[in-house]
Amino acid sequence: MKISRKIKNNQKLKAFAALIIGVFIALLISEIILQIFDFPGKPVSGWTNCKSNNPGQCNYLGFRGREITYSPDDFVVILVGDSEVYASSLPFEQIPERRLEHFLQNFKDNVKVFTIADMGYGQDQQYLALKKYFEKHRADLVLLMFTARNDIENNIFPTSGRNNTIKPNFWLENGELRGPTEGWLDPVGPRMKLALLWKSYVGKTIGESRIEMWKKDILPPPYQPLRHSQGEVDYSWQERWGNDPQIANGIKSERQRVGIGNYPTPRSERRTYGINLTRKLFSKIKGLTEENNGHFIIFKEERPWELQDAGREKVYFLNGKYYKTSIRQYQDDLRYLFHGFEHYRIPLNIENYTVKSGDSHLNQQAIDKLFKELSQIISKKNYFR
């Protein structure tokens, strides 16, 4: 009886071992096949959109602009930015690099302007792309066009967009800059194709895992809304939430602004972290530029709403909570952000300055006004000598 039971147990053990070995062999064969066919391919960290969106209008780095060629006697300007510099709505001959070059040539003939900018870029990718540029080229002047409505958020978070596209990211650790997580446009993800297949189609994506880790281990708390409010309340956020429920998550994490100039006050720990992180990235770009014998300037446009009464405060309602906002808080944030850097804030005193309703990018009239005034500022300095 005992011998019979022992034999049955041994048979079960052998069957289980055979099953394990069979599964292992099947997985090994699957991994080998996936490696041979390189499927799925590893995602890259970061992006360039020009070749897919505007083929034939890209420099060798993948940014929308003319090819980077100049003579030893040329004064070389690099225009750094995001979608405002990419200017997808403008004809190629009217993009910012061409307009800036046109206006600068009123003061110096041999000026060449080239672009390092793409949609959704923060100072992290701008710095890494500029670093790649300096491996082969020089620049006498680096101009960074700062986009106040989203650059800080783009620097804070390690992914972009609702699909959590991954990008190289920097972070602060005890006030010191750390990173990047990987190189610009480097492939990322597990070496095993089966693990990558799982992340791509079944489990959490690399971007989803990274954003969760960032919120848990790196980022300080976001703005804490009020539970009660007295006085006038604006319900437009609630109305927008009805059309797009994702807005609530964006506001809660400080990842999304739903209205121009809507800056919660007092400034949250997360916002302070983002400003300090951005200042550190400004310093990296400035240091890189100066190491390569160039001069670094930050500039931004001042839209009409930014010139309104700074004392005005507004309270917004969303899902049972109240968010107090202030233009003064926004202006204080910018003063702190730019302190110690050469920067220029150029007013756009024109009525129509955006592409269209629902698209807040600058139109051709605003681009011309902005870069004409910037070129006049530059002409009065000693940069051309």
Give the model confidence (pLDDT) of 281-339 as tens digits.
Answer: 999 999 999 999 999 999 999 998 888 777 778 899 999 999 999 989 999 999 999 99
220 and 346 inside one domain: yes
Q: What is the pLDDT of residue 189?
A: 76
With a cut of 80, say whether residue 166 has pLDDT above it. Answer: yes
Q: Is 261's pLDDT higher than 60?
A: no
Q: Is the same domain home to 25 and 114? A: no
pLDDT for 36? 77
Helices (H) and strands (E) in the chain, counts: 13, 13
Q: Which domain holds residue 32?
A: 1-37
Range in 4-8, 123-127, 177-181, 207-211 with the lowest mean pLDDT: 4-8
pLDDT in tens, 200-214: 676 688 899 999 999
- 385 belongs to a structural domain: no
Q: What is the pLDDT of residue 258?
A: 54
- The number of domains in the chain is 2
Closest CA to 62 of 47, 43, 44, 76: 47
pLDDT digits (tens, 9 = 90+) for 99-146: 999 999 999 999 999 999 999 999 999 999 999 999 999 999 999 999
The overall average pLDDT reported for the chain is 90
Q: Give the closest residue to 67 by CA, choosing from 109, 115, 101.
A: 115
Note whether 227 and 292 are same-domain residues. yes
**166 and 25 belong to one structural domain:** no
Query: For residue 325, what are the β-bridge partners?
Result: 264, 314
Q: Is 303 exposed, middle or buried (0-12, 13-18, 19+ CB in 10 A)?
A: buried
- Residues 189, 295, single domain; the answer is yes
DSSP per position, 337-375 = HHTTS-EEEEE---S--EEETTEEEE-HHHHHHHHHHHH
- Quick one: pLDDT at residue 278? 98
Q: What are phi and psi of 169, to 5 degrees?
A: -135, 145
Percentage with pLDDT > 90 across the chain? 67
Q: Is residue 214 part of a domain?
A: yes
Q: Are residues 189 and 287 in the same domain?
A: yes
Tell me the per-residue pLDDT of 328-367, one tens digit each, with 9 for 90 and over.
999 999 999 999 999 999 999 898 999 998 899 999 999 9
Residues 75 and 7 in one domain: no
Cβ–Cβ contacts within 10 Å for residue 47, how many?
20
* Residues 23-51 pLDDT 10s: 778 767 766 776 676 677 778 999 999 99
Higher pLDDT, 202 or 229: 229
Q: Which helix (H) or strand (E) holds 141?
A: strand 141-145
* Pair (210, 327) in one structural domain: yes
Do 109 and 5 belong together in one domain? no
Same domain, 26 and 64: no
- What confidence category does residue 77 fall into, taking pLDDT thresholds of 50, 70 and 90? very high
Do 1 and 132 belong together in one domain? no
231 plus 309 within the same structural domain? yes
Length of the chain: 385
